[in-house]
Structure 1
C-alpha cells in the first residue's frame, strides 16, 4: 500500500482557510486523539504509522479534530492514499 504523502498534505492544509486551534486547544486535542487511538487499539483497529503521522501533522498545523474528516475526504479519492489533483 502506498504511503501517505505527509508533506504534500501539509502544503495543501496550509493553503486552506479554517479557524486553527490555539496552542492550548491543540494540547487538549492531542490528549483526546491519544485517548481515541488507545480505544482503536483495544478494538484491534490500530492506525498505521502513516495514519498516525498524518493526524500528528494535522494537529501540528492546528487543524481541529472535527475538521479533519472533511479535509481528508476533500483531498483524497475514495479508497486511495493519493491526494486528488
Structure 2
C-alpha cells in the first residue's frame, strides 16, 4: 500500500462524519480483522506492518470495516 502518513490519515478520519462503532462493535471487528489476517497469511498474502497499523488506527477511530475501503480510496485520491 506504500508509505502511509497515519497521523494525517487519523486527522482526516476524525474530521469526517459517519457513524462510528461502539466499543463492543469495535471489539468484534478486531476479532474479525485478526481472523481475516490469519486467512491471508495462510494464502501467502500477509498484509504489511503499514497495512496492519492503518487498519488498527481505523478501528481505534471507530471506522466500520464496511466503510474502510471507501475511506481509503477517498484519502488516497486527495
Aligned length: 78
Larger helix fraction of residues? 2
TM-score, length of structure 1 as denominator length: 0.87
The residue that corresponds to 2:32 in the other structure is 32
- Measure the CA separation in 2 of the matches of 1:40 and 1:2: 18
The residue that corresponds to 1:62 in the other structure is 62
Unaligned runs of 5+ in 1: 78-83
Does 2:12 match 1:12? Answer: yes
RMSD of the alignment, in Å?
1.2
TM-score, length of structure 2 as denominator length: 0.95
